[in-house]
A and B are shown apart, each in its own frame.
Chain A
Amino acid sequence: AAGVIQSPRHLIKEKRETATLKCYPIPRHDTVYWYQQGPGQDPQFLISFYEKMQSDKGSIPDRFSAQQFSDYHSELNMSSLELGDSALYFCASSRQYPYEQYFGPGTRLTVT
């Protein structure tokens, strides 16, 4: 079965640089979620999109922005990167209720 695809899998950036993470949801899933997971922590919700419209927003810094495109893939844009942005970034997709989410393999971002 098709799964959630994320690219790149690993990304190394320097402070103040910009990064773009991509997510391709499972076919026919209309909702995409982004989560950030620091070392030894539970995933923290960043932002979600339903039918290409932002549906919810969590603790996402103003330096980050995201959107969902007409083909339902989503991109998370991160600017002015800081050392504290180093984390695993997961994308998940689902249909609407009951929100059964499937996660992608994640992008490991390292900011040096």
Chain B
Amino acid sequence: AQSVSQHNHHVILSEAASLELGCNYSYGGTVNLFWYVQYPGQHLQLLLKYFSGDPLVKGIKGFEAEFIKSKFSFNLRKPSVQWSDTAEYFCAVPAEGTGKLIFGQGTTLQVKP
């Protein structure tokens, strides 16, 4: 069965620090990958997506992610975080055939001003 694993459960950074959140998936076939962000008390918003092509994808709010097929990874990065990036971040893959999202455990990012 497909699965997603996020390595960092709780990350604390100071403003302007660089961010990298790890995500690994188990499925070896054609993979679509997503990162969602959930700000406190809000719904999930699509941050960025990978379907095919350039393995370095750019999303909203200065986030980017790199798909590395050989490592089954899709890590999220941001060169300089802001206090407003404080949120929960979820990596997800759609199940083959039906599209239900399989989420990682989530990473809580706390940015200190």
Contacts and interface: CB of A to CB of B under 8 A. Distances in A.
Interface stretch (B62-70, B73-81, B100-108): B100-108
A96 B95 CA distance: 12
Given A42-B105, A98-B51, A56 B46 contact: no
Interface string A15-50: 000000000000000010101000001110100101
A105 B94 contact: no
Given A42-B90, A43-B103, A98-B32, A55 B98 contact: yes
Nearest to A34: B100
A98 B98 CA distance: 10
B28 interface: no
Question: Which of B34, B94, B98 is most buried by chain A, counting CB atoms within 10 A of its CB?
Answer: B98
Contact of B101 (A33, A50, A106): A33
Nearest to B102: A45
B44 A48 contact: no
Contacts of B100: 33, 45, 48, 56, 58
A59 B102 CA distance: 13
B45 interface: yes
Contacts of A96: 99
Given A42-B90, A42-B106, A98-B94, A105 B99 contact: no
